[in-house]
Amino acid sequence: MQDAATLPEKLQRFSISENGCWNWNGSLWAKSARPRYWDGNGKWRCAYRAIYAALAAPIPEGLTLDHLCMNKACVNPGHLEPVSMVENRRRYDASNVSKPFERVRNNKITEEQAVEIVRSPLSNRECAARFGLSSGNVSRIRTGKRWGYATAELRAQS
């Protein structure tokens, strides 16, 4: 993926949150509240489609971008996957929208690894480096905010 610094200024209107989402600070579509930008040519366009196409890959025709992080204000190409409209709808219906980011965070590691993290004598930072997570994620796993069901017994013992 290319560096976000290569984006035109009109597409750089986001701030990066701790969970890796690029939260759009620019204009939003009135109805859907999704990120949009003024193309300078008389049209509003979808900001995350433009950013995905610029930094990741061209979007195959007819496909829409699914937010794997469930955060529709996010424009991080790494959190987007091109899917058909039907698949997008199916995922949306199957999702629990009240738990944003759970999918992305949880899928980074397995249940066994979550247990290993809770057991590990390493510091949050060392653990983060070892498992390729942020130390915030490690802390959330250790306190049971993530993978809580998998580590409940272990945490109760310590």
Q: Which of 70, 66, 27, 68 is nearest to 46 (CA)?
A: 27
Q: Side-chain half-sphere of 44: how many Cα atoms within 13 Å?
A: 8
Could you say whether residue 73 binds Zn ion (CB under 5 A)? Answer: no
Q: Report the residue from 69, 109, 117, 128 that binds Zn ion according to the rule CB under 5 A.
A: 69
Q: Side-chain half-sphere of 5: how many Cα atoms within 13 Å?
A: 1
The CB-of-74 to Zn ion minimum distance in angstroms stands at 3
C-beta of 71 vs 151, nearer to Zn ion: 71
Residues between 108 and 127 that touch Zn ion (CB under 5 A): none
C-beta of 11 vs 21, nearer to Zn ion: 21
Could you say whether residue 79 binds Zn ion (CB under 5 A)? Answer: yes
Q: Give the end-to-end CA distance of the chain in Å, rounded to a whole number.
A: 42
Q: Determine if residue 42 is left, alpha or beta; phi over 0 gives left, psi from -120 to 50 gives alpha, anything else beta.
A: left
Part in contact with Zn ion (CB under 5 A); list of ranges 46-54, 68-76, 82-90, 125-133: 68-76
The CB-of-69 to Zn ion minimum distance in angstroms stands at 3
The Cα 64–Cα 151 span in angstroms is: 36
Q: Report the residue from 21, 46, 51, 141 that binds Zn ion according to the rule CB under 5 A.
A: 21
C-beta of 92 vs 126, nearer to Zn ion: 92
Element (H, E) at 102: helix 102-107
Provide the binding-site residues for Zn ion, judged by CB under 5 A. 21, 69, 71, 74, 76, 79
